[in-house]
């Protein structure tokens, strides 16, 4: 698209943010009535003004070097609450009803990042290309930020703020020319007598010439780093056990690992969300003392790409080897030579024989048995258990080469 005003992704995100209607229609007429998605040829957006776009319009969301069409993006948003098996069934059903084309089924992390971007919880994605003529992504990011607030997205040629790129709006130029210009601390301290500091350059030259040259990092050789032009370090991944007998599930993992408090997975105090992925934050002082690291928690690896395994920093297990059948290393001894294992059980209960057989590479911890709701007896030990788990994870990350700005190329 030539402009952010007609970009299908931004129009979709803006409509979602403002809860405006998005209508599948069988005509390019903006007043055409809504029809079933399988019979639609256009998608009509009702804000900020009615705009109708062909439903097969390619978007800036790119998967496997192919631009995903608007219909696939819109259908994914409609079915975002469905578990993956039910979503795949819905895609198959719609494919059977379509006369032209097929619905694109995104990979696991593509689906997560796209939904996060559309709902406004994320401002960037490695799968979304910048708008045409916006190489650094500044205009598209600003337009997306406005869209997430329900405002109209600006065109590429307009100026977003005084420091933005492009042609300055004439009305803003009049306002800026009327401003009273004030000096900064450098101009205020300079005084009325100019001072020549050119001799300082000669004094500093010997010291600058001896400055050691830092070796450059070849980003292209590290697939875990080459996520986007900003070279953002990828988030480390923690795998939970999908077993129903696991004490740590998606419903209570965030409370335990982030807040240091254990509640049973089926307790009313646990999260009611059936999410397939969670984000938790933890400060790892020996890796980055200034910023918390964001970790991704998942149970299944069916949608894993090969490079995702370089980001896995821990595997929680119940001792059941079927958990590893879809892993990169299906043999537990091979798996735990690359990634530390963690077993969480009840305190004073016997550790399963399988976990004991896997040796010291699986850390065993125990939590106090759960009592009545509202009882905090023994729960103060939960934080001690959580801290011991994070020490194991942090130690492994340091040994694998995780730093503030990079992830390991392989594990």
Tokens of 248: 């740590």
Domain check: are 143 and 244 in the same one? no
Q: Which contiguous run of DSSP H or E holds residue 95?
A: helix 84-97
For residue 322, the domain's CATH number is: 3.40.50.11990
Tokens of 105: 């089924």
Shared domain check, 253 and 135:
no
Among 118, 148, 178, residue at a domain's last position: 148
Beta bridge partners of 63: 66
> From CA 360, how far away is CA 73, in angstroms rounded?
46
State residue 224's pLDDT score.
38
Which tens digit of pLDDT belongs to each residue from 245-281?
A: 899 888 888 889 988 888 888 777 776 455 778 889 9
Tell me, what's the pLDDT at 157?
A: 41
Domain assignment present for 390: yes
Which is more confidently placed, 208 or 77? 77
Residues 23 and 128 in one domain: yes
Tell which wins on pLDDT, 203 or 159: 203
Say if 231 falls within a structural domain. Answer: no
What do you get for the CA distance between the two ends of the chain, in Å? 41
- 221 in the Ramachandran plot: left (φ > 0), alpha (ψ -120 to 50) or beta? alpha
Q: What confidence tens digit (pLDDT) does each residue in 1-59 have?
A: 445 667 888 888 888 888 888 899 998 888 889 999 888 899 998 876 788 899 999 99
In 120-150, which residue ranges form alpha helices assigned H by DSSP?
A: 138-148
The distance from CA 278 to its chain's CA centroid, rounded to whole angstroms, is 10
For residues 94-110, give the mean pLDDT. Answer: 84
Residue 190, in any domain of the structure: no
pLDDT over 80 (residue 309): yes
Widest pairwise Cα distance in the chain: 83
Residue 318 φ then ψ, to 5°: -105, 0
Q: Is residue 229 part of a domain?
A: no
Residue 144 falls inside a structural domain = yes
Asked whether residue 131 is domain-assigned, the answer is yes
Whether 337 and 411 have beta carbons less than 8 Å apart is answered as no
What pLDDT was estimated at residue 278?
86
CA dist., res. 24 & res. 35, Å (int):
6
C-alpha to C-alpha distance for 267 and 331, rounded to whole angstroms: 33
For 352-384, the pLDDT digits (tens) are 999 999 988 899 999 888 876 555 666 788 889
* 204 in any annotated domain: no
Cβ distance 270 to 259 under 8 Å?
no
Average pLDDT estimate for 303-318: 90
- Bridge partner list, 342: 316, 363
Beta strands in 6-137 (DSSP E): 22-25, 42-45, 51-54, 58-63, 66-69
Residue 187's pLDDT band, with cuts at 50, 70 and 90, is low
Pairwise CA distance, residues 365 & 246, whole Å:
13
pLDDT (tens digit, 9 = 90+) per residue, 114-155?
A: 888 888 877 778 888 887 765 555 555 555 555 554 444 444
- Please report, for residues 118, 262, 294, 401, the alpha-carbon distance to residue 386 in angstroms, rounded to integers and kept in the order given: 34, 9, 16, 23
Asked whether residue 115 falls in the same domain as residue 244, the answer is no
Please identify, among 102, 119, 148, the residue that sits at the C-terminal boundary of a domain.
148
CB atoms within 10 A of CB 211: 7
Structure tokens at 14: 């803006």
Q: Judge if 250 and 126 occupy the same domain.
A: no
Does 12 share its domain with 113? yes
Tokens of 355: 């976990």
pLDDT of residue 333: 92
pLDDT beyond 50 at 64: yes
| 24 and 132 co-located in one domain | yes
Regarding whether 241 and 130 lie in a shared domain, the answer is: no
Q: How confident is the model at residue 213 (pLDDT cuts 50, 70, 90)?
A: very low
Q: Which of 94, 118, 148 finishes a domain?
A: 148
The CB-side HSE value for 328 (13 A sphere, CA atoms) comes to: 19
Q: What range does the domain containing 320 cover?
A: 237-400
pLDDT digits (tens, 9 = 90+) for 90-100: 989 988 888 87
Is residue 379 domain-shared with residue 275, that is, in the same domain? Answer: yes
Residue 217 has a pLDDT of: 40
82 lies in some domain:
yes
pLDDT band at residue 170 under the 50/70/90 scheme: low
Q: What contacts 24+ positions apart, CB below 8 Å, involve 45-50?
A: 45/11, 45/12, 45/14, 45/15, 45/20, 46/15, 46/20, 46/21, 46/22, 47/14, 47/15, 47/18, 47/20, 47/150, 48/14, 48/152
Number of structural domains (the chain) is 2
State whether 247 and 396 are in the same domain: yes
Do 38 and 137 belong together in one domain? yes
How far is Cα 347 from Cα 312, in angstroms, rounded to an integer?
27
Confidence of residue 229 (pLDDT cuts 50, 70, 90): very low
């Amino acid at each position: 698209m030539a402009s952010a005003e007609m970009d299908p992704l931004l129009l979709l995100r803006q409509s979602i943010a403002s809860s405006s209607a998005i209508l599948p229609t069988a005509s390019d007429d903006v007043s055409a009535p809504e029809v079933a998605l399988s019979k639609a040829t256009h998608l009509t957006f009702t804000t900020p003004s009615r705009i109708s776009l062909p439903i097969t319009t390619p978007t800036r969301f790119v998967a496997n070097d192919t631009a995903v069409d608007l219909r696939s993006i819109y259908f994914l948003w409609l079915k975002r609450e469905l578990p993956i098996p039910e979503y795949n069934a819905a895609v198959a059903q719609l494919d059977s009803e379509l006369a032209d084309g097929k619905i694109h089924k995104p990979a696991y992390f593509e689906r997560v990042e796209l939904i996060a971007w559309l709902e406004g919880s994320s401002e960037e994605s490695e799968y979304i290309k910048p708008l045409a003529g916006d190489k650094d992504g500044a205009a598209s990011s600003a337009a997306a930020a406005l869209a997430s607030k329900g405002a109209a997205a600006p065109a590429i040629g307009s100026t977003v703020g005084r420091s933005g790129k492009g042609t300055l709006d004439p009305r803003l130029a009049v306002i800026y020319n009327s401003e009273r210009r004030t000096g900064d601390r450098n101009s205020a301290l300079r005084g009325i007598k100019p001072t020549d500091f050119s001799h300082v350059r000669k004094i500093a030259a010997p010291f600058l010439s001896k400055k050691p040259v830092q070796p450059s990092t070849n980003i292209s050789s590290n697939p875990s780093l080459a996520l986007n032009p900003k070279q953002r370090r990828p988030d480390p991944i923690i795998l939970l056990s999908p077993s129903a007998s696991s004490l740590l599930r998606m419903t209570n993992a965030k409370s335990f690992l982030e807040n240091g408090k254990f509640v049973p997975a089926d307790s009313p105090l646990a999260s009611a969300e059936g999410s397939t992925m969670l984000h938790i934050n933890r400060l790892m002082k020996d890796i980055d003392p200034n910023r918390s690291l964001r970790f991704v928690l998942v149970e299944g690896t069916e949608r894993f790409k090969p490079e995702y395994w370089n980001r896995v920093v821990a595997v929680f297990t119940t001792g059941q080897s079927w958990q590893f059948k879809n892993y990169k290393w299906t043999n537990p001894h091979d798996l735990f030579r690359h990634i530390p294992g963690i077993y969480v059980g009840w305190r004073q209960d016997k550790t399963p024989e399988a976990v004991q057989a896997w040796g010291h590479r699986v850390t065993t911890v125990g939590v106090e048995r759960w009592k009545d709701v509202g009882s905090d007896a023994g729960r103060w030990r939960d934080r001690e258990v959580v801290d011991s788990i994070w020490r194991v994870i942090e130690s492994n990350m340091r040994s694998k080469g995780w730093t503030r700005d990079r992830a390991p190329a392989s594990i």
